[in-house]
Amino acid sequence: MSLIKFFSTNGHREKVDFKRALLAGQAPDKGLYMPEKIPSLSPEAIRDFPKMSYHQIAYQVIKPYLGDLVEESALEDMLKDAYSYEVPLERVYDGKYLLRLDRGPTCSFKDFAARLMGRLIQYFLKEEGRSMIILTATSGDTGSAVAHAFYGLENIKVIVLFPESEVTERQ
C-alpha cells in the first residue's frame, strides 16, 4: 500500500505522512494539511457496508491514509473504542437515508472525528515516548466534544477556553 502524503494548503514544499500531519496540527506555513489524493473505495466494498458496523466501515475509510503507520489490531481497537456507541442509519423516504451523527457522547457530530483523533494521537505519542498539551478555544460544542474525546487518554492534556458569557446553556 503506497503511503499517502499530506501537503499544506498554503504551499509549503514539504509533504508529510499522516502521523506527522496529525501531531503537527498545522503546517509550518500555517496552512491546513490535505491529502495528495483521496482513495476510492471499490463498489464491492461499498456494497458490503450495510452488513458492517460503523467501526468496520471507518476502518475501510481510514486505513488507506494510515498505510502501515498503525498496527492493524491497534487500529481496530481504537475504532471500536472511538465508536462504542450506536450510529443509526434512518430511512427518511424512498431511497433516502440519514446517518445520525448526533449519537456520540456529547451529541455533536464532532465526536466522530475527535474521538478517533484522540486515540490516534495517543498511539503516536506513546510510540515516541512523549506527551502533548492541546489548546482549543470555542463558543460551542467543539469544546465539549474535544474534552470528552481526550478525557482519560494518556500523555495528552487538553485545555478548552470558552469566551465568558458567549456560550448558550445548551452548549
Check residue 162 and give its pLDDT. 85
- According to DSSP, residue 68 is labeled T
Q: What is the pLDDT of residue 137?
A: 86
Q: pLDDT at position 8, please?
A: 97
Based on the number of CB atoms within 10 Å of its own CB, is 111 exposed (0-12), middle (13-18) or buried (19 or more)?
Answer: buried
d(CA 75, CA 82) in angstroms, rounded, equals: 10
Task: Going from the first residue of the chain to its last (171 residues), give the mean pLDDT of each consecutive group of 10, the final group possibly shorter.
Answer: 88 95 95 96 94 95 95 97 93 92 92 96 97 89 89 94 78 64
Q: Report CA 8 to chain centroid distance, whole Å.
A: 18
Query: What pLDDT is attached to residue 163?
Result: 85
pTM, 2 dp? 0.90
List the alpha helices (DSSP H) in 25-152: 43-48, 54-66, 72-82, 110-128, 141-150
pLDDT tens, position by position, 68-85: 999 999 999 999 999 999
pLDDT, position 1: 57
**Positive/negative CA dihedral, 24, 85, 102, 149:** negative
pLDDT of residue 171: 64
* Domains of the chain by residue range: 69-161
